[in-house]
Amino acid sequence: MTQLPKTTERKMGLVIDLDTCVGCHACVVSCKGWNTENYGAPLSDQDPYGSNPSGTFLNRIHSYEVQPESGPAQLIHFPKSCLHCEDAPCVTVCPTGASYKRVEDGIVLVNESDCIGCGLCAWACPYGARELDRAEGVMKKCTLCVDRIYNENLPEEDRVPACVRTCPSNARHFGDLGDPDSEVSQLVAERGGMDLMPEQDTKPVNKYLPPRPKDMLNDGPREEIDILAPLLAPVVEEPKGFLGWLDKTLEKL
């Protein structure tokens, strides 16, 4: 219903390092803060101090315990926000044109004044990355802090998404993934960056860097054991191991 651009001039997105994310939620708080105080209307909460709190968050962290075939269980923290897909079904399904993808940088946005809150885009997004603001009845999503990244009133170091600026463990990186020479593209190439659920054919711009093997203590001397790396082959047709498990878990959300 709504057209996607055939191509975009840049592919701005996030590279998220699952090896160094410690699940602290600082990025969640800074995202909520920036987008409540500076972009459009506040991201509403319902019953925030009651027994059944809920709210609008554009970035969420899911934490899982993964049990490898051998060795101890591993805790994986998995940050999730819009992946600014190249073939974004959330855009094409939108009946009003409120959802759109920008030609200049590939960022997927919602024009809230044209949104009728039908929820079709949330249904179409395979990643659960859209949030219906229940107070306003309109759809909201990660904007890659479009009001920060080009904002010349901010110091240059602050012209990145709030989550990236805040992350204390440097697990979040921002840049042009359409430029093979950019720092984010180099990082993806060096670390075997992965698409999330590639079988959905959405061509996500955001990439995830897999956890690296951890040192672990045995009875004997410290020994390096490759716990998760064999399960984390980069972009596969039929996800297996950790990614297959993650896909199934995310589908249930």
> Exactly one of 12, 110, 209, 232 binds ligand SF4 (CB under 6 A); which one?
110
Q: How far apart are CA 245 and CA 91, in angstroms?
A: 27
Using the rule CB under 6 A, is 139 a contact of ligand SF4?
A: yes
> Exactly one of 31, 94, 109, 184 binds ligand SF4 (CB under 6 A); which one?
94
Residues 117-136 that bind ligand SF4 (CB under 6 A): 117-121, 125, 127, 129-130
Helices marked H in the chain: 26-37, 89-92, 120-124, 146-149, 162-166, 183-191, 241-251
Non-local (6+) Cβ contacts of 123 within 8 A are 93
Closer CB to ligand SF4, 17 or 232, in the complex: 17
- Single out the segment in contact with ligand SF4 by CB under 6 A; choices: 32-40, 163-171, 182-190, 213-221: 163-171
Q: How far apart are CA 191 and CA 168, in angstroms?
A: 20
Residues 179-238 that bind ligand SF4 (CB under 6 A): 202
Non-local (6+) Cβ contacts of 51 within 8 A are none
Using the rule CB under 6 A, is 250 a contact of ligand SF4?
A: no
Residues 31-60 that bind ligand SF4 (CB under 6 A): none
Using the rule CB under 6 A, is 98 a contact of ligand SF4?
A: yes
> What's the first-to-final CA gap in the chain, in angstroms?
26
**Residue 184 · residue 175 · CB < 8 Å:** yes
Using the rule CB under 6 A, is 24 a contact of ligand SF4?
A: yes
| Nearest distance, CB of residue 221 and ligand SF4, angstroms | 30
Using the rule CB under 6 A, is 140 a contact of ligand SF4?
A: no
| Nearest distance, CB of residue 54 and ligand SF4, angstroms | 18
**Residue 85 · residue 106 · CB < 8 Å:** no
Burial call 95-130: b when 16+ CB within 10 Å, e when fewer: eeebbbbbeebbbbbbebeebeeeebbbebbbbebb
Using the rule CB under 6 A, is 76 a contact of ligand SF4?
A: no
Interface positions with ligand SF4 (CB under 6 A): 21-27, 61, 77, 79, 82-85, 88-90, 93-94, 96, 98-99, 108, 110, 115-121, 125, 127, 129-130, 139, 141, 166-167, 169, 171-172, 202
